[in-house]
Amino acid sequence: MIEQVPSKVDMDKLVSLCKRRGFIFPSSEIYGGMGACYDYGPLGVELKNNVKKSWWKAVVQGRDDMVGLDASILMHPQTWVASGHVEGFADPLVDCKQCKQRWRADHIKDGKCPACGGELTEPRMFNLMFKTFVGPVEDEASVAYLRPETAQGIFVNFQNVLNSTRKKLPFGIAQMGKSFRNEITTGNFIFRMREFEQMEMEYFVRPGTDEQWFKHWVEERFNWYTNLGIKKDNLRLRQHAKDELAHYARDCYDIEYLFPIGWSELEGIANRTDFDLKQHAKFSGKDLSYFDEETKEHTIPYVIEPSAGVDRSVLAFLADSYDEEKDKEGLRVILRLHYALAPIKVAVLPLSRNEKLLPISREIHNSLRNCWMVQYDDAQSIGRRYRRQDEIGTPFCVTIDFQSLEDKQVTIRERDKMRQIRVPIEVLKSTLDAKLNGEPLDILPPGGKKWLGFEG
Ligand code: ATP
C-alpha cells in the first residue's frame, strides 16, 4: 500500500530524464507501448547491471555462507501448487459500474471509484500469474506459468546445492532474475511492472536461531541501501501487523522508501519458517531435510527471505540522487549516484576538436575504457559537456587541453562539487581508480596539483 506524502522529487522529471538520456523507455513504444513494461536504454542497462553487481557483491561474493543460483523461468507447474501461488496468488478486484475501470479492492479508500466516484462491484479474486503452454498442444496438461517470483527456484534446488557444495547451516542461496505478474494497478513508471527483476535470497538456519538471523538480515539489507547512498530520512522499516502476515510467516519487515509517489515497499524480509521446504517435500515426495552432523538428526531448516526488486531499487537510486542547482547558466541537473552505481565512470573531454588534441585524447580514452565504462565527447562547449555528464551521474571528467601537450598532465573534474585536480597522464588510471574507490579528491598523486583553471 502506498502512503501518499509529498516527496522532494517529481516523478515526471525523472521519467523525462530517463527517456531523454536513454535510461528507460516505454516498451514497444512505436506501437503505442505495452502496459507496465519498460525497456532499459544504453545508460539504464549499465545502472541496472551495477545495482545487481552491488547486490551480488554484498550477499554472495563478500560472504562465506552464501552461494548463487540461476534457475530457469519456466518451472514444473507443481512448483506453484506447492508454493500456494495457484491457489492464492490473487488480488481482490472491483469494477466500476459506471466507467468500467478495474481496481484493486485493497487500494480503494472510500468504497467509490477513484476515477469517477461511481459505484463498485463486489470484489472478485484475480490470479496474477501469467499462464502459457509448453509444447505443441494447448491443453490443461501442458499449462506452465511464467514465474511470479524467483524464490521457488531456490527451494526446489535446495538439495542440489546442499549436495554439490556441502554447505553447513546456516547458509543461503541467492538468485536474481526476471519475474512476471499480471498486475492490475499500474501506471507508476517502473515501480510496478508486469515483467520485472528481483534479487532474492533464502537463508537457511537451525530452528530456534531464526529470530536472531532475521534481525541480522533486516539490518544488513537496510544498510545496503544507505551504503549505496540512499538518504536515511528517505528509508524506513515497517513491521507487518499480525493480520498482515501470511499464515506460515513468523515475522516480516518491509524496507520502505519515500518514492515520488509516497512511502512504499522497496524490499520485504520475512521469516518463512520451514513452510516452503515442507511444502515441496510433500508435493514432490522427496526428502528435503538437512542432516545435522552435530546433533546427528535430520531437520527441516527455517528460512529468512530478503526479497528485493531490481527495478524499484533503480527507481529509488535515481530519485534519491536527483538534484538541481541554480547557477549563472540556468539549472544544473545532477544525478549524485554512488560511484559504484554510476553508468559511466569517466568522461574523456578534449577541450576542443582541434586536431592536435585528438591523438592524445583518443589514446587516453582507449587506455581507460579497459577498466571502466568511459564516454568520449568532443561536441559543443566544455561547460555543456560537463552538464551532460552531471545529468547522467558521471563521477569524473578528464579534460585534455593544449597545455597537456606540453606538460603531459590532464585535469580531473569531479561531479559533486566541481573541484578539479591536475595529474600526470602516467598516473591518471591509478588516480581515477583510487578516487572511484573513495579516496578524497584533495589527496594528490606524485606530481599532481590542485587546479584553479576554468570551472564547469
Ligand atoms: P507489492 O505489495 O508492492 O505488490 P509484494 O509485497 O507483492 O509487493 P513481493 O512479492 O514481496 O512484493 O516481492 C518482493 C519485491 O519484488 C518487492 O519488494 C518489490 O521490490 C519487487 N516487486 C514485486 N512486484 C513488483 C512489480 N510488479 N514491479 C516491480 N517490482 C516488483
- Look at residue 453 and tell me whether its pLDDT is greater than 60: no
Residue 454 confidence (pLDDT): 43
Residue 187 to residue 26: CA distance in whole angstroms: 11
Work out the percent of the chain whose per-residue pLDDT is above 70.
98
Q: What confidence tier does 293 reach under pLDDT thresholds 50, 70, 90?
A: confident
* Mean of per-residue pLDDT scores for the chain: 95
How remote is the CA of residue 36 from the centroid of ligand 1, in Å? Answer: 13
Q: Is the CB of 307 under 6 A from ligand 1?
A: yes
- Digit-coded pLDDT (tens) for 413-429: 999 999 999 999 999 99
Residue 452 confidence (pLDDT): 62
Going from the C-alpha of 49 to that of each of 62, 184, 332, 393, the distances in angstroms are 18, 28, 26, 15
Q: What confidence tier does 282 reach under pLDDT thresholds 50, 70, 90?
A: very high
- Look at residue 32 and tell me whether its pLDDT is greater than 80: yes
Residue 352 to residue 377: CA distance in whole angstroms: 10
- Digit-coded pLDDT (tens) for 296-342: 999 999 999 999 999 999 999 999 999 999 988 889 999 999 999 99
Name the residue type at position 18: C
- Digit-coded pLDDT (tens) for 20-29: 999 999 999 9
CA diameter of the chain: 79
Q: Is the CB of 311 under 6 A from ligand 1?
A: yes
Q: What confidence tier does 187 reach under pLDDT thresholds 50, 70, 90?
A: confident
User: Which residue's alpha carbon is at the smallest distance from atom 20 of ligand 1?
Assistant: 309
Q: Which atom of ligand 1 is nearest to the CA of 181?
A: 27
Full-model pTM: 0.94
Residue 101 confidence (pLDDT): 87
Contact 71, 240 (CB under 8 A): no
